């Protein structure tokens, strides 16, 4: 009834609908923007001569370069901030919350992530604005005399907002990694004469690293391509590469240039991620 | 065998390059309690699943009641199975589980089905548990539900895949006797897969010992224990001492010179794997040897002397390791701790009595 | 535990930080003033009443519901196929195939948006509609459905299906009578999560929507007009409550599924 050969056939047959969908709507479109990035826009038509001119421009034009570097810098800061601030929370839930209440904590942490992203970003604009909640409150309390201006329409605002938006994404993988740690390992370390801090550094942290690595990538990769936050709270100095991609496609009507920027951004992000994974490989080895 | 219920004829099973069953042939009778015994990975579960219809054979035939099962899918075979995990449907209550297979029986009315479920539950000692949800059952109860669920369909063969391995020791011992009683009561063929030799000995009419996809020996428990066909079988079932020997065969008698025991002549019947010529190994179970303490017992016909090198006291029994003069390895001897019987100490000299009829001879 | 106390205070502060922006929505939705600033101007429900009279908004809600429901159904069906294949069968290139299906999880949404835009408009010459949004949303929701349903399918003891077959069911009968009832909580959960993601998704919809905007695209347009902000806050409040209800229901079903199959609760949707 079920020869190994038959099993492979059944498996492939079963997986084929989502597979065909992913090929047609993911692999083919990604292939098409790669192709398009090698063409050039000629007013309303495409010049289909293959050329790397768009890529040359993407990497040499100072505007594109600034946007790309800024996107990476903002993403890097967001990632660092979320991971640093999230680790203690994950640690707290894993080590200091009673087992029967852990699920509740995780649920509480996850909820804000599922509420409208657009509205959450917008709420930060309301909080950080010139006449915003933060300024009016601080003025009202007499803590400041004039509204603070360095907190909206710049890169700082983008970092704060994105760090907030991606917080649950960082906590969960770290929490899962911490939960997997056999508690007797920590007792063994104490038993072998290490104090709590050294035990944390020599046992807990290395074992939690797979979660930290996952969290880092989960935040870094999508934030580089974020569009909404720079537009709402970034101001001219907080614009990122996704905004330029959108402008190329929908306003300048230069899809090939937009594609080249998108592909470049994706390649750079992939390269950085792979480099990061390579550097962290020591922590990711399968432990017996 | 006259009128076997199940015939396995040269059953082969390959998984890609892995040869899981290597030409299994045997016959299983009606009403027999038959066990497949072997270490994990020996193919015993694969063989059981082949009979159930969950695996097909690469070559060879499986016949049940004289009918070739090649084109009969699992759901239409006259077999039912008790799974290792019990596979109790978690979304149904006890009655729902037991009645699961009855739903397709159009020849029974709803009342008859209900009555059958109640009867099956009574049979396994779970009367009144029908409305109990699956998750509220203990391990032993789950197993009883699994039994009732299979037996209610009145199969010709009940297949049991390590049914007791998930239970604790006490529960396991209780279920062993109960399963045996149940089998006698319903009178159908039970095929049990187990890796526990003691369990197989306690419950079975016959046992097939399997190693690496082959049946190493198929025999009744007593034969298996007393006359194992190979060293490997002997080692898998219980404990056995092995002493090197040289043998000379003449007709149906074997003359042996056994290291530590000396010369003896035996019948070839004591060589179940065939009488070896030249280098041989003599096997002795620990309980067939005895240490003669304070010359209390009558003078044995065969005895040698040795030195006690280890003593393990078990309460009801004492296990001695005794180094015999001329033997390379000490032998293990088990002694009942009868009232007034002294326990020897390490370093004592011991007189060891042995019985030639208890010897089993293998090729070296 | 001194260390625990310090961490607990930090954790509570962190939760406040997480909830602060969300909490502002209802506060200003009921505030009787067009400027979003403290002090509050008094209680009103007029912004909610105003919502009722905006036709464009009603159209956007209808569009979003259509997109979200269609997406939820399609992604869950794809999810069932992929999760069943991954938990039950071995087949060549399994890792690569499932990897490809899961890729949208780590792809910036703008890449998905422009790639689909290029293929649909520039290369295939089709026009944008709600269906193009559905195509994009199904792509990004399927990995979530696969993840949730894989957990459901993997939690099942494989011998349950065999037991059903052993007791006389066909393979198909065993799937429908045993497997499907046991993964139903996972299916409901996958439907709700996909629905929620699609309902909230902005950037792909922004690129792929035609003349009929989805709710987030409509909202995006409104954010430019300061006088519309209180109405947006009111709408946001309703959306947050809706998300909360959907998530609580999804979590309820997920946990019930975990309990039913007797698997260990690993918590969360990831």
Domain boundaries, chain C: 1-44, 48-261
Neighboring chain C residues of B54 at a CB cutoff of 8 Å: 162, 165-166
Same domain assignment for residues B88 and B200: yes
**C10-26 residue pLDDT tens:** 999 999 988 888 888 88
Point out the residue among C78, C92, C136 whose CB comes nearest to the CB of A17: C78
Contact C168 B101 (CB under 8 A): yes
- Search chain C and give the residue with CA nearest A89: C11
A151 within 8 A of A128, measured Cβ to Cβ = yes
Which architecture does CATH list for C48-261?
Orthogonal Bundle (1.10)
Average pLDDT over residues B244-256: 91
> Could you tell me the CATH number of the domain that includes residue B14?
3.40.50.300
Residue B255 lies in a domain: no
Same domain assignment for residues B129 and B201: yes
Domain boundary pick from B226, B243, B274: B226
Residue B22 lies in a domain: yes
Size of interface B-C (CB pairs under 8 A): 61
Same domain assignment for residues B98 and B204: yes
Residue B263 lies in a domain: no
Please state which CATH number belongs to domain A64-286: 1.10.3720.10
Neighboring chain C residues of A102 at a CB cutoff of 8 Å: 267
Contact A3 B56 (CB under 8 A): yes
Q: Does B98 score more than 60 pLDDT?
A: yes
Residue-range definition of the domain harbouring residue B331:
288-352
Domain boundary pick from B226, B246, B276: B226
Q: Does B62 score more than 90 pLDDT?
A: yes
Contact C166 B52 (CB under 8 A): yes
Point out the residue among C157, C169, C261 whose CB comes nearest to the CB of B87: C157
Domain boundary pick from B208, B226, B244: B226
- Search chain B and give the residue with CA nearest A5: B16
> Could you tell me the CATH number of the domain that includes residue B328?
2.40.50.140
Cβ-proximal residues to C26 (8 Å cutoff; 6+ apart), any chain = C233, C237, C240
Q: Does B15 score more than 70 pLDDT?
A: yes
Probe site for chain A from B50, B56, B59, B76 (most A CB atoms < 10 A): B56
Contact A1 B15 (CB under 8 A): no
List the chains bordering chain C where 3 or more Cβ pairs fall under 8 Å. A, B
Band (A107; pLDDT cuts 50, 70, 90): confident
Band (C270; pLDDT cuts 50, 70, 90): very low
CA distance to partner chain A, nearest, from residue B19 (Å): 13
- Search chain A and give the residue with CA nearest C244: A111
- Search chain C and give the residue with CA nearest B53: C166
Neighboring chain C residues of B90 at a CB cutoff of 8 Å: 160, 182, 260-262
Q: Does C77 score more than 90 pLDDT?
A: yes
Supply the ipTM of this predicted assembly.
0.84
**B146-201 residue pLDDT tens:** 999 999 999 999 999 999 988 888 889 999 999 999 999 999 999 999 999 999 99
Tell me which residues of chain B have a C-beta less than 8 Å from any C-beta of chain C.
52, 54, 73-76, 79-81, 83-85, 87, 89-91, 100-101, 104, 135, 149-150, 153
Closest among C218, C88, C240 to C160, alpha carbons compared: C88
Between C75 and A255, the higher pLDDT residue: C75
Domain total in chain B: 2
CA distance to partner chain B, nearest, from residue C73 (Å): 24
Band (C202; pLDDT cuts 50, 70, 90): very high
- Search chain A and give the residue with CA nearest C40: A133
- Search chain A and give the residue with CA nearest B56: A1
Residue B222 lies in a domain: yes
Contact A4 B56 (CB under 8 A): no
A211 within 8 A of A177, measured Cβ to Cβ = yes
| Bridge partners, B304 (sequence order) | B352
């Amino acid at each position: 009834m079920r020869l190994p050969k038959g099993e492979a056939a059944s498996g492939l047959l079963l997986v084929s609908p989502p597979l065909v969908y992913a090929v047609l709507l993911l692999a083919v479109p990604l292939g098409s923007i790669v192709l398009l990035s090698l063409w050039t826009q000629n007013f309303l038509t495409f010049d289909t001569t293959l050329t790397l001119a768009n890529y040359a421009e993407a990497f040499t034009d100072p505007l594109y370069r600034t946007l790309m570097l800024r996107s990476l810098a903002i993403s890097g800061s967001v990632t660092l901030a979320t991971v640093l601030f999230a680790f203690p929370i994950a640690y707290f839930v894993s080590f200091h919350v009673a087992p029967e209440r852990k699920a509740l904590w995780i649920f509480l942490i996850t909820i804000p992530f599922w509420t409208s992203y657009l509205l959450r970003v917008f709420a930060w604009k309301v909080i950080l604005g010139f006449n915003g909640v933060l300024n009016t409150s601080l003025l009202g309390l007499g803590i400041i005399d004039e509204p603070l201006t360095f907190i909206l329409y710049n890169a700082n605002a983008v970092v704060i907002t994105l760090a907030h938006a991606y917080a649950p994404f960082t906590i969960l993988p770290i929490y899962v990694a911490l939960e997997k740690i056999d508690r007797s390992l920590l007792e063994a370390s104490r038993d072998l004469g290490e104090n709590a801090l050294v035990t944390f550094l020599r046992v807990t942290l290395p074992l939690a690293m797979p979660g930290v690595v996952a969290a880092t990538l989960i935040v870094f990769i999508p934030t580089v391509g974020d569009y909404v936050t720079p537009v709402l709270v970034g101001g001219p100095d907080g614009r990122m590469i996704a905004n330029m991609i959108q402008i190329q496609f929908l306003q300048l009507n230069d899809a090939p240039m937009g594609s080249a920027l998108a592909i470049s951004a994706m390649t750079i992000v992939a390269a950085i991620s792979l480099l990061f994974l390579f550097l962290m490989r020591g922590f990711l080895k399968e432990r017996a | 065998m006259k009128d076997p219920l199940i015939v396995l004829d040269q059953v082969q099973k390959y998984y890609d390059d892995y040869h899981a069953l290597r030409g299994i042939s045997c016959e299983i009778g009606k009403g027999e309690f038959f066990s497949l015994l072997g270490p994990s990975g020996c193919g015993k579960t694969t063989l059981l699943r082949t009979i159930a219809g969950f695996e097909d054979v690469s070559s060879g035939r499986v016949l049940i009641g004289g009918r070739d099962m090649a084109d009969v899918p699992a759901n239409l075979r006259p077999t039912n199975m008790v799974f290792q995990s019990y596979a109790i449907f978690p979304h149904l209550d006890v009655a729902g589980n037991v009645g699961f297979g009855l739903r397709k029986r159009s020849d029974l009315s709803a009342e008859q089905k209900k009555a059958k479920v109640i009867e099956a539950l009574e049979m396994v000692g779970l009367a009144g548990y029908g409305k109990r949800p699956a998750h509220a059952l203990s391990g032993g109860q789950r197993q009883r539900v699994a039994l009732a669920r299979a037996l209610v369909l009145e199969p010709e063969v009940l297949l049991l895949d390590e049914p007791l391995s998930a239970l604790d020791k006490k529960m396991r011992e209780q279920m062993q006797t109960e399963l045996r009683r149940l089998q006698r009561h319903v009178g159908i063929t039970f095929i049990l897969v187990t890796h526990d030799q003691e369990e197989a000995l306690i419950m079975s009419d016959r046992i097939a010992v399997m190693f690496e996809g082959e049946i190493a020996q198929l025999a009744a428990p007593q034969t298996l224990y007393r006359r194992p066909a190979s060293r490997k079988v002997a080692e898998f079932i219980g404990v056995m001492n092995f002493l090197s020997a040289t043998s000379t065969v003449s007709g149906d008698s074997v003359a042996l010179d056994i290291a530590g025991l000396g010369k003896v002549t035996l019948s070839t019947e004591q060589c179940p794997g065939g009488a070896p010529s030249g280098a041989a190994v003599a096997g002795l179970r620990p309980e067939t040897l005895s240490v003669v303490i304070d010359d209390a017992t009558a003078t044995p016909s065969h005895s040698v002397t040795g030195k006690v090198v280890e003593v393990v006291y078990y309460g009801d029994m004492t296990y001695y390791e005794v180094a015999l003069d001329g033997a390379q390895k000490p032998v293990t001897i088990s002694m009942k701790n009868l009232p007034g019987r002294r326990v020897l100490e390490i370093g004592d000299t011991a007189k060891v009595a042995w019985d030639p009829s208890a010897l089993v001879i293998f090729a070296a | 535990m001194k260390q625990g106390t310090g961490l607990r205070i930090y954790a509570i502060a962190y939760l406040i930080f997480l909830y602060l922006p969300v909490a502002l929505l209802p506060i200003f939705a009921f505030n009787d003033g067009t400027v979003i600033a403290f002090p509050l101007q008094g209680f009103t429900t007029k912004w909610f009443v105003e919502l009722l009279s905006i036709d464009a908004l009603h159209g956007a809600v209808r569009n979003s519901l259509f997109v979200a429901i269609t997406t939820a159904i399609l992604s869950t069906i794809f999810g069932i196929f992929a999760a069943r294949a991954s938990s039950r069968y071995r087949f060549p290139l399994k890792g690569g195939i499932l990897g490809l299906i899961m890729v949208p999880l780590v792809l910036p949404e703008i890449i998905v948006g422009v790639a689909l835009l290029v293929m649909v408009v520039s290369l295939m010459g089709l026009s944008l509609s709600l269906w193009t949004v559905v195509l994009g949303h199904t792509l990004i929701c399927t990995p979530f459905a696969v993840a949730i349903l894989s957990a459901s399918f993997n939690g099942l003891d494989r011998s349950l299906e065999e037991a059903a077959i052993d007791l006389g069911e066909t393979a198909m009968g065993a799937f429908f009578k045993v497997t499907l009832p046991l993964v139903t909580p996972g299916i409901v959960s996958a439907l709700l999560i996909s629905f929620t993601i699609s309902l909230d998704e902005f950037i792909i919809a922004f690129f792929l929507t035609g003349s009929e905007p989805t709710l987030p695209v409509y909202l995006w347009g409104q954010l430019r007009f300061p006088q519309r902000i209180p109405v947006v806050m009111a709408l946001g409040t309703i959306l947050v409550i809706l998300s909360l209800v959907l998530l609580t229901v999804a979590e309820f079903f997920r946990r019930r599924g975990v309990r039913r199959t007797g698997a260990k609760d690993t918590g969360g949707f990831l």
